[in-house]
Amino acid sequence: MTSPHPILSILGVAIVALSIAAFLIWVERRLLALWQDRYGPNRVGPFGLLQVAADSIKIFMKEDWIPPFVDRPVFILAPAIVFVTVLMSFAVLPVAPGIIVSDLSVGLLFFLAMSSLGVYSVVLAGWSSNNKYALLGGLRAAAQMLSYEVFMGLSLMGVVLLAGTFSLPAIVEAQRTIWFVIPQFPGFVLFLIAGLAETRRIPFDLPEAESELVAGYHSEYSGMKFGMFFVGEYMGVSLISAMISVLFFGGWLGPVLPGVVWFFLKMFSFIAFFVLVRAALPRPRFDQLMSWGWKVMLPLALINLLATGAAVLAWR
């Protein structure tokens, strides 16, 4: 089943996703400022809303310099990959009943597949830059995202067990009686942490840790190529927030207000949570990050899956 106007809905989803990502740059700066007792950008336009426009004009005007020592084709390809994979994931995201680009029977797996392909952008950017800090950032990104992907998939299998399907609209419909955050609370926490790691947000931003690696994998990027990484990160944040609301908080389901409003309300509250995490937490050491992923999160995800499987088997 697809929506009646495929081209229209593809364009619509892409444009909305991009504008939310651009808007998030302003939202994040304002919220961070609020939590740190400052004002943040409030000069350009009402409440500083046009700051995004000013920033994007500036970034488009900047010189887009490709250093002579880089591996040219891969260097140019890398920022495109992050964009393409995140935008592809939005294709299976159900915003409201019928508002979805493609209702795949394996929608959830498609999301996981695209997020696992997203690793390439960071890894290849780090490698092609021919710069040791960028390479270290790329190595860290590869190790981190590979480890956190493992239990990201496992943490979602509890939801799949309860809903009995990989299709995202069907998962939302299965939450009519109870949101999956209640029976699947461990799964929710695990997915939240894995999502933070996949978007390389602050407690997990070791691939670009500016205090030790200059800017990590995107040290050599400038102009709009850097802008693609930047906006790609915010698109990743909105994607993970949207996925959390779809998988654990009933997506468009909610009383009184129309479904789309509920969806965006839930999504934006998780985006705000992501910003709060950035304001509150320092980054760990890299070996702590890896042992945390493999020794704590993976066993917990397996136990959660085992317990959910046993419960479903017993009660059905």
Chain positions contacting another protein, by CB under 8 A = 71, 73-74, 77, 104-106, 109-110, 112-113, 116-117, 119-120, 123-124, 126-127, 135, 138-139, 142-143, 145-146, 149, 153, 164, 166, 285, 287-288, 291
Closer CB to another protein, 153 or 169, in the complex: 153
- 117 vs 214, which CB is nearer to another protein? 117
Beta bridge partners of 96: 99
| Token pair of 271 as six digits | 């985006």
Q: What are phi and psi of 99, to 5 degrees?
A: -95, 90
- Read off φ and ψ for residue 96, nearest 5 degrees: -155, 170
In angstroms, the CA 303 to CA 74 distance is: 40
C-alpha dihedral over 243, 249, 250, 255, to 10 degrees?
A: -130
The least CB distance from residue 79 to another protein, in Å, is: 15
Is 120 or 262 the residue whose CB approaches another protein more closely?
A: 120
Query: Minimum distance between the CB of residue 30 and another protein, rounded to whole angstroms?
Result: 35
Closest to another protein by CB, 114 vs 181, is 114
Torsion angle defined by CA atoms of residues 193, 194, 195 and 200, in that order, rounded to the nearest 10 degrees:
90
* Least distance to another protein, CB of residue 288, Å: 6
CA-nearest of 76, 185, 165, 53 to 129 is 76
- The CB-of-291 to another protein minimum distance in angstroms stands at 6
Nearer to another protein, 17 or 122 (CB): 122
Beta carbon of residue 120, minimum distance to another protein (angstroms, whole number): 7
By beta-carbon proximity to another protein, the closer residue of 149 and 208 is 149
- As separate numbers, helices (DSSP H) first and strands (DSSP E) second, the chain gives 13, 0
Q: What is the dihedral of CA 108, 112, 115, 120, to 10 degrees?
A: -150
Name the DSSP letter for residue 4.
S
Q: What SS3 state is found at 84?
A: helix
Coil, strand or helix at 220: coil
Residue 199 near residue 244 (C-beta atoms within 8 A): no
Which lies closer to another protein via its Cβ, residue 273 or residue 294? 294
Q: Please name the amino acid found at residue 272.
A: A
Nearer to another protein, 198 or 233 (CB): 198
* Residue 78 and residue 67 in contact, taking contact as beta carbons nearer than 8 Å: no
Please report how close the Cβ of residue 65 comes to another protein at its closest, in angstroms.
22
Q: Sort residue 251 into left (φ over 0), alpha (ψ -120 to 50) or beta.
A: left
- The distance of closest approach from Cβ of residue 147 to another protein in the complex, given in angstroms and rounded to an integer, is 11
Q: Shortest Cβ distance from residue 167 to another protein (Å)?
A: 9
Q: CB-wise, 24 or 119, nearer to another protein? A: 119
CB of 100 to another protein, least distance (A): 16
Q: How many CB atoms lie within 10 A of CB 226?
A: 18
